[in-house]
């Protein structure tokens, strides 16, 4: 059994003057299941990275203090040894999947730690069985849903039989069913196999029942560390930081009225007529014979299980993909005849992974890039940038390198950069990613208010039912690429057949 001991740990990223970890002291006993939570940017991911050795071995910065796992100093021990004890499941499985097939992916780690060739096949079979993917050995990684990819990544880790499992918001991209599957697997590893678990999340309700210990962080420090039985007796520390508790509503009690559903819609902005889309080399359509029309002033949620076609539909709406069949009309123009540069200022899109958008040296430069390329006046550019920085809570990070920020802060930077263009059509893929409740609701409040006031349109893809109920006045529900419902969220959620 492997305990974790951290003493007087400080860590500062190269572009930052304030430590991301500020005097961390914690002992984690063998077999613990620790729920690690806190507001966006509090240092949760950075702390996990020090435990598995990514910091300092694969990340620049200044570190002091000690981190030991199983009485071995992670800072000085080669990562090749640490990874045999400590498994790390990233928020986005794409970051740790490299091979073509499922079997090759799991075999990759086993080969690198020297597992005998005649034992690898048995370990692959066992790991896939443990994560509920029996028979997936020959499946192509590219054809899997997000939930299946996350389970393959987890299978790759548990096949190496680590004593410690670190999970960085592993369910943030997943639908409810896939989330349930991942949580059940992790709990079984903890209770049946004695694996020590440290699980970071903003969705406390999902994980609270599984853990035996709760750790709350803020501004790089641990501000609460208690057994689960007493951690939530006083919820004030959580509420002060905007962090969910088991008994709190994930939707704000008071509905904002500034963006109440429009009674009169404006001009039609998007028209999708009998569209279908098939990815190259795929045998099935990702979107099938879909029809819908979207007007100015609407706020629309796209929902559906992992792999149902939500992101594909957003990319078709934004002109990033051309339909295999049918027609997508964007502000009256056929998307097949449009170049992406013609859509600048008309369509803004923020991907599920904000790192695909971020390229500038500072947050301010990132937000300035779009308006500057629209050839606006210097005064207009300055006003748009200052407004976006203020509205999306980025003032203290304006001069920071975007990639030095937390996942949630990078997401807000990407949203601010797109919002500064004031697009007629704003497309947002999974806005909840990396956001604590306080930041998520402020982001959506500000965005929806700007959309209403400017008579523009917001379309966001999400698994978050409460977010849809609070902010959307229309829902597009997908199942296996088909649009099975188009109407009011209350109607959709009250229909048990859906």
Give the mean pLDDT of 455-484: 93
What is the predicted pLDDT for the residue at 353?
A: 84
* Residue 159 backbone class (left: φ over 0; alpha: ψ -120 to 50; beta: rest): alpha
The answer on pLDDT for 262 being more than 70 is no
| 70-74, 438-442, 458-462, 489-493: least confident range | 438-442
**For the chain, what is the mean pLDDT?**
90
pTM: 0.85
Cα(424)–Cα(345) distance, integer angstroms: 7
Categorize the per-residue pLDDT at 2 as very low, low, confident or very high, splitting at 50, 70 and 90: low
What is the predicted pLDDT for the residue at 286?
A: 92
Please report, rounded to a whole number, the percentage of residues in the chain having pLDDT higher than 90.
67
CA 273 to centroid of chain Cα atoms: 31
Give the mean pLDDT of 422-442: 87
Q: How many CA atoms within 13 Å lie on the side-chain side of 291?
A: 2
Q: Greatest CA separation found in the chain?
A: 68
Bridge partner list, 72 = 69
Yes or no: domain 4-247 corresponds to CATH 3.40.640.10: no
What is the predicted pLDDT for the residue at 253?
A: 40
**Domain map of the chain by residue range?**
4-247, 269-494
Surface-to-core class of residue 348, CB atoms within 10 Å of its CB (0-12 exposed, 13-18 middle, 19+ buried)? buried
Cα(79)–Cα(54) distance, integer angstroms: 8
- 59-88 b/e with 16+ CB inside 10 Å = b? eebebebebbbbeeebbebeeeebbbbbbb
3.40.50.300, 2.40.420.20, 3.30.300.30, 3.30.1330.60: CATH of 269-494: 3.40.50.300
Cα(442)–Cα(486) distance, integer angstroms: 27
Are residues 4 and 25 in contact, defined by beta-carbon separation less than 8 angstroms?
Answer: no
pLDDT tens, position by position, 281-322: 788 899 999 999 999 999 999 999 888 999 999 999 999 999
What is the predicted pLDDT for the residue at 120?
A: 96
**C-alpha separations of 229 from 209, 210, 213 in Å:** 10, 12, 8
What is the predicted pLDDT for the residue at 213?
A: 97
Strand arrangement of the beta sheet that strand 482-487 belongs to: 347-350, 425-429, 457-461, 299-303, 474-479, 482-487
Cα(171)–Cα(179) distance, integer angstroms: 5
Let me know if the fold of 4-247 is the same as that of 269-494: yes
| 162-166, 191-195, 247-251, 259-263: least confident range | 259-263
């Amino acid at each position: 059994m492997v305990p974790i001991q951290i003493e007087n740990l400080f860590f500062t990223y190269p572009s930052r003057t304030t430590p991301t970890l500020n005097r961390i002291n914690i002992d984690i006993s063998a077999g613990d299941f620790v729920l690690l939570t806190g507001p966006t940017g509090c240092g949760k991911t950075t702390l996990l990275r020090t435990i598995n050795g990514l910091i300092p071995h694969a990340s620049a910065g200044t570190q002091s203090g000690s981190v030991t796992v199983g009485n071995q100093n992670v800072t000085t021990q080669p990562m090749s040894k640490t990874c045999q004890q400590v498994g790390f499941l990233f928020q986005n499985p794409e970051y740790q999947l490299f091979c073509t097939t499922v079997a090759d992916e799991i075999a990759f780690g086993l080969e690198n730690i020297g597992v005998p060739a005649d034992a690898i096949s048995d370990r692959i079979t066992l790991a896939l069985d443990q994560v509920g993917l029996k028979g997936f050995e020959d499946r192509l990684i590219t054809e899997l849903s997000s939930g299946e990819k996350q389970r393959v990544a987890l299978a790759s880790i548990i096949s190496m039989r680590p004593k410690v499992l670190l999970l960085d918001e592993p369910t943030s991209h997943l639908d409810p069913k896939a989330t349930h599957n991942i949580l059940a697997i992790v709990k079984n590893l903890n209770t049946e196999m004695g694996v020590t678990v440290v699980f970071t999340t903003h969705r406390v309700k999902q994980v609270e029942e599984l853990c035996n210990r709760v750790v709350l962080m803020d501004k790089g420090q641990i501000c609460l560390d208690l057994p689960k039985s007493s951690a939530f007796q006083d919820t004030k520390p959580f509420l002060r930081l905007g962090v969910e508790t088991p008994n709190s509503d994930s939707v704000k009690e008071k509905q904002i009225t500034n963006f109440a559903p429009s009674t009169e819609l404006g001009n039609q902005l998007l028209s999708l007529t009998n569209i279908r889309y098939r990815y190259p080399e795929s045998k099935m359509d990702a979107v099938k014979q879909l029809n819908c029309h979207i007007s100015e002033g609407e706020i629309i949620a796209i929902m559906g299980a992992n792999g149902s076609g939500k992101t594909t539909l957003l990319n078709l709406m934004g002109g990033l993909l051309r339909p295999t069949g049918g027609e997508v009309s964007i502000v009256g123009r056929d998307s097949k005849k449009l170049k992406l540069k013609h859509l600048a200022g008309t369509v803004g899109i923020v991907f599920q992974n904000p790192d695909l958008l971020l390229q500038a040296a500072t947050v301010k430069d990132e937000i300035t890039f779009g308006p500057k390329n629209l050839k606006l006046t210097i005064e207009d550019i300055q006003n748009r940038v200052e407004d976006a920085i203020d509205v999306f809570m980025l003032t203290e990070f304006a001069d920071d390198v975007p990639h030095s920020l937390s996942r949630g802060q990078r997401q807000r930077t990407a949203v601010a950069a797109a919002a500064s263009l004031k697009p007629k059509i704003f497309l947002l893929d999974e806005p909840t990613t990396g956001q604590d409740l306080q930041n998520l609701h402020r982001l959506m409040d500000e965005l929806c208010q700007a959309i209403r006031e400017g008579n523009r349109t917001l379309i966001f893809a999400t698994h978050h039912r409460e977010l849809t109920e609070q902010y959307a006045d229309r829902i597009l529900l997908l199942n296996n690429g088909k649009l099975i419902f188009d109407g009011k969220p209350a109607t959709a959620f009250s229909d048990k057949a859906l």
